[in-house]
Copies of this chain bind each other. A is one copy, B any other.
Amino acid sequence: MVDIEEVRKHNTKKDCWVIIHGKAYDVSDFVDEHPGGSAIIVKFAGKDATKAFDPIHPGDTLTKYLATKYHKGEVTEDDEYDDDEDDPPSEQELLRRKMVKKKPDLSQMYNLNDFEFVARHTMEKTAWSYYSSGCDDEITLRENHASYQRVFFKPRVLVDVTNIDLSTTMLGTKVSSPFYITATALGRLGHDDGECVLTRSAAKQDIIQMIPTLASCSFDEIVDAATDKQTQWLQLYVNKDREICENIVRHAEKRGIKGLFITVDAPQLGRREKDMRSKNIEDLSHVQGDDEEADRTQGAARAISSFIDTSLNWKDIKWFRSITKMPIILKGIQTVEDSLLAVEHGVDGIVLSNHGGRQLEFSKPPLEVLIELMPVLRSKGLQDKLEIYLDGGVRRATDVLKAICLGAKGVGIGRPFLYAMSTYGDAGVYKAIQILKDEMIMNMRLLGVTSIDQLNESYVDVRNFQTRYLPEDKLFGKVYEPLVSPAFKL
């Protein structure tokens, strides 16, 4: 039994204890490793952090990532701790709660933008901001979507389009439609059941779910939520500690995961100002005095959590191959050059992705990389050496069709399903997928094709990539929340 007064003393970054579910933990050595940043932990130094911890962490987090020596045991009752809401809700929050009550019926959702619209107005500010934010000025985030608007169709008529077949194969799995639910972190920010909501809808709709490393349900919870016939993939942030890494991979294979997607575009997490601003956390790194200067540079270096290994490089691929038989796919390839290196290193696939515009600002849209890549692969006879996926910016079935026409095996969709989950739960995600499928069928008919394998470059006109003309997308423009300048005080 640890005395609450004792806990209260460890209230600095260097000496930092927190209480979670009545137990104290010394997280001093962990603070800088925290994938969510140190600031949020330090905010609770010497205090009860349960309410902030619970909604986003899997139940096994502390056991898994914090050595037993840091588990300080149960804490005596905390008189000061008030389980009820402490701060009165802000005007903004009160407005949000009203909006939640007036939420439109699910039947009013006609497209994926609609879910985003409702999410923006009904989700808690911090959750919305975490999901929706991109890096820097969010230009990359918007360009990802824009790239699809630049492709026009060349539809063929007078083709018998009575029977349409949307099914295709991804890494050997037969799926009902050429898109999958890609990995996105912290599902429980949007829904109590977190990533499991996505699992259930994926099962019903017969599409693949990619499980994220930073899920807020535990890996096993998500796998348990799946049906026997269901296919899941695993997205992996490579930990500096390769033993942890190996355990994760071997466990995943054992549990039946059918593809290992190694994230390669995030040696350091991007700076997402919309998210930062919503948390209103003091950006501690910059307020140090003169004498802390020496520290600072180090501090910047230390900002790299051991959760993600900055030293990960091409040589590591071999090691991964040695520990698993799962197909290995590199997620986050952004150039033709690295795509060729991927072939050379014998991986089974790549995901052209700039992380949904959350990492490097001005990384080119995946669709544009695809357009450059395919002729190169074909000229070298490599087009069948690996499966090519892409993600980022997909909102309509026409987007999916364009990607397939241009050489992709399938596309990943992330945020739209998060928004559907956060607003209407299981029914929302199910419907979001169904909307895409209905649009797929209609658009394939109108395009004059009846099966996925018929889609090819003759159905698209990509000349706008030369001009970069961008027709206005009014709904997308409306649901997008622009960055704001800092607020003046009241």
A residues near B (Cβ < 8 Å) are 99, 101-111, 113-114, 117-118, 121, 136-139, 142-143, 146, 149, 151-164, 204, 264-268, 270-271, 273, 276-277, 282-287, 290, 293, 296, 300-301, 304, 310-314, 316-317, 330, 332-335, 337-338, 341, 354, 359-364, 396, 398, 431, 434-435, 437-439, 441-443, 445-447, 461, 464, 466-476, 478-479, 482-483, 485-490
Q: Is the CB of B117 within 8 A of A443?
A: no
Contact of A446 among B270, B287, B468 (CB under 8 A): B270
Q: Report chain B residues within 8 Å CB of A110.
A: 271, 273, 276-277, 283, 486
Query: Contact at A300–B156, with CB atoms within 8 Å?
Result: no
Contacts of A364 in B (CB 8 A): 152-154, 461
A487 contact from B104, B445, B466, B472, Cβ within 8 A = B104
Rounded to whole angstroms, the CA-CA distance of A464 and B368 in the bound complex is: 13
Asked if B158 and A362 make an inter-chain contact with CB atoms under 8 angstroms apart, the answer reads no
Q: In whole angstroms, how far apart are the Cα atoms of A234 and B34 in the complex?
A: 45
Contacting residues, chain B, for A475 (C-beta < 8 A): 137, 483, 485
Taken together as a complex, chains A and B put the C-alpha atoms of A138 and B467 apart, in Å, by 21
- Residues of B near A341 (CB, < 8 A) are 158
* Extra inter-chain contacts (5) besides given A104-B488, A110-B283, CB under 8 Å: A110-B277, A136-B398, A142-B471, A157-B265, A469-B470
Q: Which residues of B contact A461 (CB under 8 A)?
A: 364
Contacts of A271 in B (CB 8 A): 110, 438-439, 442
Write the nearest CB–CB distance from A37 to chain B, whole angstroms: 13
With A107-B282, A156-B335, A485-B479 already in contact, the answer to whether A300 and B438 are too (CB < 8 A) is: yes
- Set of chain B residues within 8 Å of A154, measured between Cβ atoms: 334-335, 337, 364
Interchain Cβ contacts under 8 Å between A and B, 6 examples = A102-B488, A111-B273, A114-B486, A139-B473, A163-B301, A361-B443
Most buried by B among A360, A478, A489: A360
Give the distance to chain B from A155, nearest Cβ to Cβ, in Å. Answer: 5
Contact check: which of B111, B314, B467 meets A468 at CB < 8 Å?
Answer: B467
* Chain B hits for A111, CB < 8 A: 136, 273
A482 to B265, CA, bound (A): 37
Nearest B residue to A289 via CB reads: B427
Provide the residues of chain B in CB contact with A264, threshold 8 Å: 157-158
**A485-B114 contact given A204-B290, A286-B434, CB 8 Å threshold:** yes
Check A121–B488 contact: CB distance below 8 A: yes
Most buried by B among A109, A138, A472: A472
Contact of A474 among B104, B268, B466, B483 (CB under 8 A): B483
Once bound together, how far apart are the Cα atoms of A242 and B362, in whole Å?
Answer: 48
| CA gap between A264 and B136 in the complex, in Å | 35
Instruction: Please tell me if the beta carbons of A158 and B312 are within 8 angstroms of each other in the complex.
Output: yes
